Homo-oligomer: A and B are copies of this chain.
Amino acid sequence: MAVHQVTEHRELPPLTKAELAARLEQVGRERYHHRHPFHQMMHEGRLNRGQLQAWALNRYYYQSRIPIKDAIIVSRSEDRDFRIAWRKRIVDHDGDRNSDGGIERWLRLSEATGLSRDRVRSGEGVLPATRYAVDAYLDLVRNRSFLEAVASSLTELFSRDLIALRMGALKRHYPWLAGGLDYFSARLNEAPEDAKFAFDWVAEHARTRAEQECAVTALQRKCDILWAQLDALYFAYVEPAWPPPGAFLPDKV
């Protein structure tokens, strides 16, 4: 993607930091997965328990790869201060010997939907398209430029609003899920700090317009990655509700 952007924007002056922020916010408004019909159904209380189980199970695969993704990013930095700041994300998700992290909290959310943690952890029944999208994320942070790797995390600029909305909606529409929402309350605190660090880093290190466009495109790619996971869920479990061979099947109620 970079080559095209470099050519197109070579002549343009760099955006100011505020302009860059506005461009990124625009990507969020247009492409972040809060707009996906699967999430809209979730927030309107129109998903059934089996669909929420499929969501929790598939999204666990994403969650389980987050510390791997962040360790890749840490391993690509030669700047100790950057590594220390980014290491926080690994800690947030993996936790510590004595404290839970996001992965454990997601398992508890999955249990609240009625799935066993062993079933979720096994990865059995995860949609192939979920794996492809998540693995594309690892590929992006491993093989694209370091700027793109960092910029791809900027979806966290948008996650706070979505999480706040979602927590209210989940409590209201699916009260039986209420005991499993710790993941989201933790992210409400963690994500904004991470997003600020990443945005400041990108704003400082994307100096030319071409580099800034590269960062914007990386954020779009990340939005695509989140969106594609919901497309796959929708196709398999909502409409036409045709899960591929081997995929998770909710118990008949």
Chain A interface residues (CB < 8 Å from chain B):
64, 67-69, 71-72, 74-78, 80, 83-84, 87, 90-91, 94-97, 101, 103
- The answer to whether A75 touches B75, judged by C-beta atoms less than 8 angstroms apart, is yes
Whole-angstrom CA separation of A69 from B75 in the bound complex: 7
Each complex incorporates copies of this chain amounting to 2
- The answer to whether A97 touches B84, judged by C-beta atoms less than 8 angstroms apart, is yes
Whole-angstrom CA separation of A113 from B111 in the bound complex: 58
Known: A83-B67, A95-B84. A74 touches B103 (CB 8 A): no
- Residues of B within 8 Å of A90, CB to CB, are 74, 83, 87
- The answer to whether B71 touches A75, judged by C-beta atoms less than 8 angstroms apart, is yes
Whole-angstrom CA separation of A78 from B91 in the bound complex: 15
- Residues of B within 8 Å of A67, CB to CB, are 74, 80, 83
- The answer to whether A91 touches B87, judged by C-beta atoms less than 8 angstroms apart, is yes
- The answer to whether A84 touches B94, judged by C-beta atoms less than 8 angstroms apart, is yes
Instruction: Write the chain B residue with the least CB distance to A69.
Output: B75
Instruction: Write the chain B residue with the least CB distance to A81.
Output: B97
Whole-angstrom CA separation of A80 from B71 in the bound complex: 12
- Residues of B within 8 Å of A84, CB to CB, are 94-97
Measured CB to CB, the closest approach of chain B to A148, in angstroms, equals 17
Q: Which 6 pairs of residues, A with B, have the shortest CB-CB distance? A: A71-B75, A71-B74, A72-B75, A71-B71, A68-B75, A80-B94
